[in-house]
Amino acid sequence: MGGVPAADELDGFRAEVRGFLTSALPRALAARAKAGHTLSRDELMFWHRVLHERGWVAPGWPRDYGGAGWTILQRHIFDEESARAGAPSVIPMALTIVGPLLIAHGTDEQRARYLPRILDGSEIWCQGWSEPEAGSDLASLRCHAERVGDEYVINGTKIWTTFAQWADRCMLLARTASGDRRQFGITILLVDMRRPGVSVRPLPSLDGMHVLNQVYFDDVRVPVSDRVGLEDQGWGLLKSTVGHERILNADVGRARAMLDRLIRIVQAGPGAQPGLRIRIARAAIRFRALETLVLRALDSPDPANASGASLIKVRGTELQQELSWLMSEALGLYGLPLLPDVMQDGWQDETPIGPEDAATVTPFYLFWRKASISAGTSEIMRNLIAQQVLGR
Closer Cβ to ligand FAD, 20 or 125, answer by number: 125
Q: How far is the CB of 159 from ligand FAD (least distance, A)?
A: 7
In whole angstroms, give the CA distance from residue 220 to residue 158: 13
User: Is residue 245 annotated as a catalytic residue, yes or no?
Assistant: yes
Closer Cβ to ligand FAD, 212 or 359, answer by number: 212
Residue whose Cβ sits closest to ligand FAD:
135
Q: How far is CA 30 from the centre of its chain?
A: 19
Closer Cβ to ligand FAD, 17 or 167, answer by number: 167
Closer Cβ to ligand FAD, 128 or 340, answer by number: 128
Q: How far is the CB of 34 from ligand FAD (least distance, A)?
A: 21
> Cα-flanking dihedrals φ and ψ of residue 239, to 5°?
-55, -40
Q: How far is CA 94 from the centre of its chain?
A: 10
Residues near ligand FAD (CB under 6 A) are 126-130, 135-136, 160-162, 212, 370, 373-374, 377, 379-380, 383
Q: How far is the CB of 108 from ligand FAD (least distance, A)?
A: 27
Closer Cβ to ligand FAD, 30 or 380, answer by number: 380
Output DSSP code: residue 95.
Answer: I
* Residue of 43, 245, 291, 322 with catalytic role: 245
Buried/exposed 44-60: b ≥16 CB within 10 Å, e otherwise: bbbbbebbbeeebbbbb
Output DSSP code: residue 194.
Answer: T
Q: How far is the CB of 313 from ligand FAD (least distance, A)?
A: 12
From residue 6, alpha-carbon distances to 1, 271, 305 in Å are: 11, 43, 24
Q: How far is the CB of 356 from ligand FAD (least distance, A)?
A: 26
| Strand spans (E) along the chain | 125-128, 144-148, 151-159, 169-175, 186-192, 198-203, 212-223, 227-228
| Contact indicator for 172, 226 with CB cutoff of 8 Å | no
Give catalytic residue positions.
245
